[in-house]
Amino acid sequence: NAGVIQTPRHKVTGKGQEATLWCEPISGHSAVFWYRQTIVQGLEFLTYFRNQAPIDDSGMPKERFSAQMPNQSHSTLKIQSTQPQDSAVYLCASSFDSQNTLYFGAGTRLSVL
């Protein structure tokens, strides 16, 4: 079991460019979560899929951010027209059961110059 895999580990973009972050959940896990981590805000919930369906995207900025889960083996978080304030570590997590134990990937550090 390789755990939750996130790629790339580091991404540097210029202001206004697009960034796509990838997540491969643990096989057999039905739920996938995206969080954003910064020093100031801590861990912010972004969005959540269960059985590939979007369940709760209440944490997603309404503009420029989108997430998809086209199949059970991967999810993507896309940020259009990146801004310096988007710089953060983006964490993906998956879970198997309804008792909410999350298994996190190592994260993607996004730096917007």
Applying CB under 8 A, the residues found at the interface with other proteins are 4, 6, 31, 33, 42-43, 45, 48, 50, 55-56, 59, 91, 93, 95, 98-107
Round to the nearest angstrom and report the end-to-end CA distance of the chain: 35
The residue (of 18 and 56) whose beta carbon lies closer to other proteins is 56
The residue (of 31 and 79) whose beta carbon lies closer to other proteins is 31
State the minimum distance, in angstroms, from the CB of residue 82 to other proteins.
Answer: 22
Compute CA distances 107 → 44, 57, 62, 66, 69, whole Å: 13, 19, 22, 17, 17
What residue has token string 């959940």? 25
Structural contact between residues 34 and 92, judged by C-beta atoms closer than 8 angstroms: yes
The residue (of 7 and 106) whose beta carbon lies closer to other proteins is 106
State the minimum distance, in angstroms, from the CB of residue 78 to other proteins.
Answer: 20
